[in-house]
Structure 1
Amino acid sequence: MIVSVVSMPEGVVVRTDLQGARERLTASGFVIVDIDLGEEPPPDDDRPLSRRLGLDDEIWEWLGEQEEHTRADFHEGTAAGIVPVVCGDRIVYVQIHADEEHVITVHRGPVELIDTFVERLRHDRPVDSVTALYLILQGVLESFRRAVTAAHLEVEDLEEAMFEERQPQHAQALARLRRRAAHLHRAFLPYASVVQEILVRRRMTAHGIPEERRAMNTLHEHTVQLVLLEIESLRDATRRAAGSYASIVADQQNLVINRLTVVSMIFLPLSFLTGFFGMNFSFLTNRLSSEDSFLALGLGLQAASVVAALYYVLYRTHWRQLRESRSRDAADDRP
C-alpha cells in the first residue's frame, strides 16, 4: 500500500501510512490523500478502509472495496463515488471521497491520471477541495476524449489503407476498434448518468451554491455530453468503416464473377461445338469425311462462336458502358 498526503496550498507530497493519513485528515486544513492499494494481502485490521481513515459514517464503508462499477453518492455536503478512467487499453476505476476540506482517492495499481494530478498540485494549487474534485473529474473526461480521438484517427488511417489495398488484417483491426468503441461507451454511459443525477440533485437541494461552483457544474455537464457525443461518433465511424470494408470485398467478388462470366461465355460455345462434333451419328460420318469440311465446320464454327462471344462481352457491355459514361462526363462538363 502506498499512501501519499498532499498539504495544500503548498502542494508538498509526503509518503506515509494509514495512521499518518488519518491524523492529517482529522487535523484542520485542506489535504489531499491518495491511496494505492496495489495487490496487497488482506490487512490484519478487518475494519473498512473508511473507518481506518476516520470516516465513521456507514454510507462510505464501500471505500477501498474491490468494486468495478460506477457509482456516486452525495450526503451531508460530502460527495463520493467510483469513476472510470482510461489507462492505455484498459478501463480502471478510481474511488473518490471529497468533503469541504479533504479529497481522498483510492485505486489499485498506478493510475496515470492520479499520478499526473498529484504531480501538478504544486503548480495548479486548487483553492479548495471542490475545485480539486472537479480537476480530477475533468481529467477523467479528458482521458476518454484522448482515447476517442486516438481511435478516430486510427479508423481514418485504416479506411485510407483499405481503399488503397485491402488486407486481411484490416478486418481484425476493424473488429478491435469496434470493441474499443463499445468498451468506452459501456464504461462512460453509467458515469454520465450518475453524474447528471448527482449534479441535478445537488442543485435542487443545496441552496446558496457559489457562482463559481455553479459554473464548474455547468462546465462538467457540458463536457460529459460532449464526450458522450464523441463516443457515439466513434461508434458510427467504426460501423461506417466496417460497411466500407464489406463493400470493398463485395466489389472484388463482383470483379471475380465478371471474369468468370467472360471466360464461361467464351468457352461454353466451344464446349458445345466440341461435344456436338464428338458425337457419332450418320450426318457427321457420311458428310464430313474430308479435311476441308472438318476445317470449315469444326474450326470455322468455333472461331465464329469465339468472335461472337467477344463481341457481345466486350462491345455490347464493357465498351458500350465506357462510351456512355464518357458521354455523360462530357455532357456534365459543358457549361
Structure 2
Amino acid sequence: MMSMPEGTLTRGHVSEARERLATSRFLFVDVELPEESAPGEQPIAHLLGLEAEDVAWLGREEESVRAEIFGDGGAFVVPAVDTDRVIRVHALVTERYLLTVHRGPAPLIGNVTARFPLESPSDSVAMLFLLLDEAMETYRRAAVQALLEVEDLEDEMFRRRQPEQLYRLARLRRTAALLHHTLLPYHRVAEETVTRRVMNRGFQEERQRLVREYRRTANVVLADIESLQESARRAFGSYSSLVSGDQNGVINRLAVVSTIFLPLTFLTGFFGMNFAYLTDELESRAVFWLLAVGLQVVFLLIALYVLHRTRLWRRLREDDGDLDDE
C-alpha cells in the first residue's frame, strides 16, 4: 500500500488494505496472489469489501482483456512483459484509490512505485495512466531488445551461417508474435473505451493530456512490434537466400565437374564397345595408348584450359573455401 501524495509505502494484511480502502482519500494498493488459485479461494473483491462495485472478475485467472469505465471508476486488465512471459495486472481505479491485483511477482508494480516520487501523480487517475504507460514501456523494451537481436543475427549470418541461427530466429519470431497477439486485443478495447470517454465534454483537460500521451506511447510500441515482425521475416528471407546461394554453388561445381568428365566418360564407353573395328584393327599397344589414353589427356587439358580462361576454376576454389569455413 502507498499513501499519496506523501508516497509512504507500507506492507500489510488484506484486512488492513480493506480498512484503508474504505477510509483513505488517495491510496494505491497492490495485491499479490498465488500464481495458481487454490481450491475454495475467496474472491479478492470479497476480502477487500468491494462486493458492491461489481468486480467479481478481479484476480480471476482466465480474465485476459478488459478496459471499461463505469461511473467515477474504471476497470482494466493490463498486459505487461516480464522477461519471456506476459503477465496481466488487474486494475480498479476510482476517484479515491487505485487497486492492482496480479498472480505471482510483477516487476511492473515496482517500476511504477519507483516513478511515483518523480512523476508526483495528482490523483488516482494519473496513477492509472502511469501504470498503463509503464506497461507499454515493458512491451517497448522487449520489442527493441528482440529487434537488436534479430539485426545481430542477420549480421552473423552474412559472416558465417550456422544452423542454430535458424532456431534463434524462430524464437525471436515467436516473441514478436507473442507481443503482438497479447497487446493488440487489449489496445483495441482500451482505445475504444478511452476514446468514448474523451468525447464527453466534461472530461478534464489534464486527463485529456494523459490520454493523448498514452495513445502516442501505445502507437509507438505497436510500431516497434510491427518493425520486429518485419525484421524477423526479412532475416528468415536472408537465411533462405544464403542457403539457396550455397545450393546453387554446389550445383555449379557439379556442373563444372560433369563438363570435365563427360568427354572422358564418352571415350571410356566408346572404347569399351566390342565391335569389329576395335577388336580387329586397333590391336597394337601404340594405337591403344594414343586413342584410349591420349585422347582423354587431350580432352582433359582442353577442359582445364577453358576453365582457366573463363576463371571458372578460381570461382570453384573460392566456393570450396567458403564451404570449408562453414
Normalised TM-score (structure 1): 0.88
- Counterparts of 1:16-35 in structure 2 under 5 Å? 16-35=12-31
| Alpha-carbon distance in 2 for matches of 1:105, 1:200 | 23
> Which of 282, 290, 295 is the equivalent residue of 1:288?
282
| Alpha-carbon distance in 1 for matches of 2:263, 2:187 | 68
| TM-align CA RMSD | 2.1
| Alpha-carbon distance in 2 for matches of 1:302, 1:68 | 80
- Counterparts of 1:1-335 in structure 2 under 5 Å? 5-39=1-35, 42=38, 46=42, 48-57=43-52, 59-204=54-199, 206-315=200-309, 318=312
Per-residue Cα deviation, 1:64-110 (whole angstroms, up to 9, x for no partner): 21125121121002011111100000011110011111000100111
Q: CA deviation at 1:119?
A: 3.8
| Alpha-carbon distance in 2 for matches of 1:309, 1:243 | 37
| Alpha-carbon distance in 2 for matches of 1:240, 1:70 | 31
Percentage of identical aligned residues: 47
Q: CA deviation at 1:42?
A: 3.7
Q: CA deviation at 1:56?
A: 3.0
| Alpha-carbon distance in 1 for matches of 2:4, 2:78 | 23
| Alpha-carbon distance in 2 for matches of 1:218, 1:275 | 83
Paired residue type of 1:95: H
Contact between 2:17 and 2:48, CA under 8 Å: does it hold in 1? yes
| Alpha-carbon distance in 2 for matches of 1:95, 1:292 | 97
| Alpha-carbon distance in 2 for matches of 1:218, 1:314 | 69
Which ranges of structure 2 fall in alignment gaps of 5 or more residues? 316-326
Paired residue type of 1:11: G
**Counterpart for residue 329 of structure 1:** none
Q: Classify the secondary structure of the residue corresponding to 2:88.
A: strand
Q: CA deviation at 1:317?
A: 7.6
Contact between 1:22 and 1:54, CA under 8 Å: does it hold in 2? yes
Contact between 1:10 and 1:125, CA under 8 Å: does it hold in 2? no
Q: Classify the secondary structure of the residue corresponding to 1:16.
A: coil
Q: How many residues align?
A: 315
Paired residue type of 1:236: E
Q: CA deviation at 1:122?
A: 4.3
